[in-house]
Amino acid sequence: MQFMLLFSRQGKLRLQKWYVPLSDKERKKISRDLVQTILARKPKMCSFLEWRDLKIVYKRYASLYFCCAVEDQDNELITLEIIHRYVELLDKYFGSVCELDIIFNFEKAYFILDEFLLGGEAQETSKKNVLKAIEQADLLQEVRIFLYHQIHLL
């Protein structure tokens, strides 16, 4: 996987993870382009599109779009599975996750993602193990977590 973007229906970026080295300028351009392209698609359209030489896989959960860029030989369906798995992880961690949870605890969302994917590859396919690792790491931390229950993604 080359990168993952989370953005809202209004086109606001909520999370970005880049697994390929790119300059800030390029990153900005790519995310702007992609957000526009994906938001312009109709809701009934399929989750895949070809974009430059990459395949884009995206899925919308409530008001949030999750979007991944994979290479040509990669499997779109498993990428979709990765997205879903990530949403499930967020949901388990926050307990009925909503967009605001991700906005206000965005570093948590990153930590979960980092336990799940590493360098663009799935590192742990067991949900239980991912959550366990996060919980244990949290025990070492001194932070408050605010939870917002509004529109749930799942």
Q: Which is nearer to other proteins, 75 or 154 (CB)?
A: 75
Q: What one-letter code names the amino acid at 59? A: K
Sorted by sequence, the CB contacts under 8 Å of residue 149 that are 6+ apart come out as: 96, 98
Verify binding: residue 51, other proteins, rule CB under 8 A. no
CB 33 within 8 A of CB 22: no
CB of 78 to other proteins, least distance (A): 5
Verify binding: residue 15, other proteins, rule CB under 8 A. yes
Dihedrals phi, psi of 99, to nearest 5 degrees: -60, -40
Verify binding: residue 39, other proteins, rule CB under 8 A. no
Binders of other proteins among 53-72, rule CB under 8 A? none
Instruction: Report the alpha-carbon distance of residue 23 to residue 20 in Å, rounded.
Output: 10
Q: Which is nearer to other proteins, 95 or 154 (CB)?
A: 95
Read off the DSSP letter of residue 91. H
Q: Which is nearer to other proteins, 36 or 123 (CB)?
A: 123
Closest CA to 90 of 153, 135, 29: 153
Binders of other proteins among 90-109, rule CB under 8 A? 95, 103-104, 106-107
Instruction: Report the alpha-carbon distance of residue 112 to residue 131 in Å, rounded.
Output: 8
Verify binding: residue 10, other proteins, rule CB under 8 A. no
CB 62 within 8 A of CB 152: yes
Verify binding: residue 37, other proteins, rule CB under 8 A. no
Contacts to other proteins by CB under 8 A: 13-19, 21-24, 28, 42, 44-49, 73, 75-78, 80-81, 95, 103-104, 106-107, 110-111, 114-115, 118-119, 121-126, 129, 133, 136-147, 149
